[in-house]
Amino acid sequence: MPTGCRFFRCRAGLAWRNVGSKRNPDSDNQISASIPTIKVRVKYNSIYHEICISSQASFGELKKILAERTGLHPEEQKLIYKKKERDSKAYLDGARVKNGSKFVLVEDIASRERRCLEMLKNARIEKASKALAEISLEVDKLAHQVTDLQSAVASKGEKVLLDIDLENLIAKLMTELVKLDGISIEGDLKLQKRVQERRVQKYIEILDTLKLCNSKLTSNGGGNNIKQEQHSTFEKQKGRSKQRNLTGEIRPNLQQHPLMHHESLVVSTKWETFD
């Protein structure tokens, strides 16, 4: 009896070693060619599918073949053999699957729901990633315009920017900020979203500062114009007053002679009356 047991163990060990060598991808082609192919029957709903497959294939490989036949994704399949659900990583020969063995295929509703949720999540992530990429590209373009305005102010301090240009640029940045606010995402993309929001806010603050400086430059320029106008008006009034003074000095001289002539006539008249 002990000898028989040792012999059985020895044979089992040889069989195990042979199976392992056949599953090794680096094994000889002659050994691989000796792997038998079996035909199994799989029932799905009311239809039987006959499938030819290697006796040493895994249940996962069988599920892939069934996916082509039934349209059911491998992750949504429950493969029942001998009233037990089989794992995709298990092998057919390990479960003693033989030629003509029968299986039952059942749809895994829970796995299907999880897969659908995962697909929706991936779709949202892809959509958000695409939206962030588009916003980032647009913000880069607007950032160049902000930099150009800063350079213009730095090179020509007296240059007054147009308020409408600043307001239009601020409005465009605010539009991108609203788009960012509408993106709901988690994980790494959420961090990217925050980075873009901070960029947009920084550029808006820069433009607000430029707008404030622009208003100061405009007010100072307006004050100088007013002073120039006041000075010009003062000079004109001064010139007119001088002209009036000159005219006033001349008129008394012109009027003085007629008065003197008139007085001489009056005196002569009185003399005539007296005689």
- pLDDT tens digits along 36-87: 899 999 999 889 999 999 999 999 999 999 999 998 899 889 999 999 999 9
Output the domain CATH number for residue 49: 3.10.20.90
Residue 262, domain member (yes or no): no
Q: Which residues of the chain have pLDDT under 50?
A: 1-22, 222-231, 233-234, 244, 246-271, 273-275
Are 60 and 101 within one domain? yes
pLDDT tens digits for range 236-257: 555 555 554 544 444 444 444 4
Proportion of the chain in helix, strand, coil states, percent, rounded to 5 = 70, 10, 15
**Does residue 176 sit within a domain?**
yes
- Answer whether residue 250 is part of any domain: no
Q: Are 105 and 67 in contact (CB under 8 A)?
A: no
Q: Are residues 129 and 217 in the same domain?
A: yes
The domain that holds 156 is classified in CATH as 1.20.58.120
**Are 97 and 177 contained in the same domain?**
no
141 in a domain, yes or no? yes
Which residues, 6 or more positions from 223, have their beta carbon under 8 angstroms from its beta carbon? none
Residue 175 CB coordination number (10 Å): 14
Nearest Cα to Cα of residue 20 among 109, 105, 111, 94:
94
Q: How many domains does the chain have?
A: 2
Q: How far is CA 119 from each of CA 19, 33, 125, rounded to the nearest angstrom?
A: 38, 40, 10
What global pTM score does this model have? 0.52
Q: Are residues 216 and 132 in the same domain?
A: yes
Domain range for 84 is: 18-107
